[in-house]
């Protein structure tokens, strides 16, 4: 008795060559498509890394600007206090001269 379930698969002469060529073309197209998707993924990864670096740079500059603005605000408060002292001193000296 011959075991037919163990028989090796082979191409029959009944399968047209056009089907085989079509399968090869589809396989090539799939590999090309997958390659394009992979290259787009890598390009997007590079863009994401660039955007993250820019965001970190903006964050750093923002913090630097916050410090500078706090110093400017403190200086304006100090300047206003000095101007008020000078005005008070001038008013006192004008009042004593009268």
Tokens in use for 86? 């000078």
With respect to residue 38, please indicate whether it lies within any of the assigned structural domains: yes
Predicted confidence at residue 87, as pLDDT, reads: 93
The whole-angstrom separation of Cα 47 and Cα 55 is 12
With respect to residue 73, please indicate whether it lies within any of the assigned structural domains: yes
Buried-state track 43-76, b at ≥16 Cβ within 10 A, e below 16: eeeeeeeeeeeeeeeeeeeeeeeeeeeeeeeeee
Predicted confidence at residue 1, as pLDDT, reads: 46
With respect to residue 16, please indicate whether it lies within any of the assigned structural domains: no
How many structural domains comprise the chain?
1
Predicted confidence at residue 15, as pLDDT, reads: 73
With respect to residue 1, please indicate whether it lies within any of the assigned structural domains: no
Predicted confidence at residue 20, as pLDDT, reads: 87
With respect to residue 81, please indicate whether it lies within any of the assigned structural domains: yes
Predicted confidence at residue 96, as pLDDT, reads: 72
Which of the residues in the chain have pLDDT under 50?
1
pTM surpassing 0.75?
no
With respect to residue 39, please indicate whether it lies within any of the assigned structural domains: yes
With respect to residue 72, please indicate whether it lies within any of the assigned structural domains: yes
With respect to residue 55, please indicate whether it lies within any of the assigned structural domains: yes
Question: Which domain, by its residues, includes 75?
Answer: 27-97
């Amino acid at each position: 008795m011959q075991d037919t379930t163990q028989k090796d698969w082979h191409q029959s002469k009944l399968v047209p060559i056009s089907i085989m060529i079509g399968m090869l073309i589809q396989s090539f197209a799939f590999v090309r498509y997958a390659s394009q998707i992979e290259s787009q993924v890598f390009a997007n990864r590079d863009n994401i890394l660039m955007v993250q670096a820019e965001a970190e740079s903006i964050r750093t500059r923002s913090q630097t600007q916050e410090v500078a603005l706090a110093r400017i605000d403190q200086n304006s408060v100090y300047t206003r206090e000095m101007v008020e002292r000078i005005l008070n001193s001038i008013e006192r000296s004008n009042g004593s001269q009268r």
